Structure 1
Amino acid sequence: MSTHIIKRIAAVALSCAGLGLLPAMGHAQEIDSTISRIKSTHTFTIGYRESSVPLSYVGPDGKPTGYSTEFCLKIAAAVKDYLKLPELAIKYVPVDIQTRQALVANGTVDISCEGAVNTWTRQKQVSFSPISWVSAEQLLVLKSSGIKDIKDLNGKTVIVATAGTSEPTLNRLIQQDHLNVKIMHVNTHSAALLALESHRGAAYLSDNGAFYGMIKAAKHPEDLAVVGPELSYQPEAFIIAKNNPTFSWIVGHTMSDMFKSGEADKLVAKWFGPLGVGISPKLRAAWDTYSFPE
Structure 2
Amino acid sequence: MRPLTAISSGLLLAACLLATDALAQTGGNEALSPTLSAIKNAHTVRLGYRESSPPFSFLDQANRPIGYSLELCEAIVEEIGAEVDDPNLRIDYVKVTSDDRIDALLQNKIDLECGSTTANSERGKRVAFSPLMFVAGTKLMVPKASSVQQLSDLKGKTIVVTKGTTNEQAIRAADQKFSLGLTIVVGADHEQSYQMLVDGKADAFATDDILLSGLIVRHKAQDKFRVTGDYLSYDPYGIMFRKGEPQLSAVVERAFRKLGSNHDFVPLYNKWFMARMPTGERMNVPISLQLEEAFKAMDDSASANN
With the length of structure 2 as denominator, give the TM-score of the two structures: 0.82
Partner of 1:224: 225
Q: Distance in 2 between matches of 1:159 and 1:60?
A: 27
SS in 2 for 1:222: coil
Q: Which residue type is aligned with residue 117 of structure 1?
A: T
Residue in structure 2 matched with residue 96 of structure 1 by the alignment: 97
How far the C-alpha of 1:235 sits from its partner, in A, is 0.3
Secondary structure of the residue aligned to 1:185 is strand
Report what 1:114 is aligned to.
115
Aligned to 1:147: 148
Alignment RMSD (CA, Å): 1.8
CA contact (8 A) 1:32 1:243 kept: no
Give CA-to-partner distance per residue, 1:154-189, whole Å, 9 cap, x none: 121011111211122112222333212100101111
Partner amino acid, structure 2, of 1:288: K
Structure 1 residue matching 2:135: 3-state secondary structure: strand
For residue 126 of structure 2, what is the aligned residue in structure 1? 125
Structure 1 residues 112-191: aligned runs within 5 Å: 112-191=113-192
Partner residue in 1 for 2:17: none
Question: What is the match of residue 37 of structure 1?
Answer: 38
1:31 and 1:163 map into 2 onto residues whose CA distance is 32
**1:283 maps onto 2:294 in alignment:** no
TM-score by length of 1: 0.85
Alignment partners' CA distance in 2, 1:286 and 1:232: 19
User: Paired residue for 1:202?
Assistant: 203
Aligned equivalents of 1:117, 1:86: Cα separation in 2? 30
Q: Secondary structure at the match of 2:97?
A: coil
Once residues 100 and 93 of structure 1 are traced to their aligned partners in structure 2, the CA distance between those partners, rounded to angstroms, is 10
The Cα shift of 1:290 comes to: 4.2
> Is 1:272 paired with 2:273?
yes
The code of the aligned residue for 1:162 comes to K
Which letter maps to 2:218? A
Equivalent residue for 1:63? 64
Q: Distance in 1 between matches of 2:201 and 2:227?
A: 18
Q: 1:68 Cα deviation (Å)?
A: 0.6
Specify the code of the residue in structure 2 equivalent to 1:233. Answer: Y
Amino acid paired to 2:105: V
C-alpha contact 2:265 2:295 (8 A) present in aligned 1 = no
Counterpart code for 1:149: Q
| Identity %, equivalent residues | 29
Q: After TM superposition, give the deviation of residue 97 of structure 1 in Å.
A: 1.3
How far 1:212 sits from its partner (Å)? 2.2
Contact residue 149 and residue 228 of structure 2 kept, 8 A: yes
Code of the residue aligned with 1:283 in structure 2: it is L
Please list every run of 5 or more consecutive structure 1 residues that lacks an aligned counterpart in the other structure.
1-29
User: Conserved in 1, the CA contact under 8 Å of 2:51 and 2:95?
Assistant: yes
Q: Which residue of structure 2 aligns with residue 75 of structure 1?
A: 76
SS of 2:72's equivalent? Answer: helix
Higher helix share: 1
Question: 1:240-275 CA deviation, whole Å, 9 max, x = no partner?
Answer: 001111111111111122133321111111111031
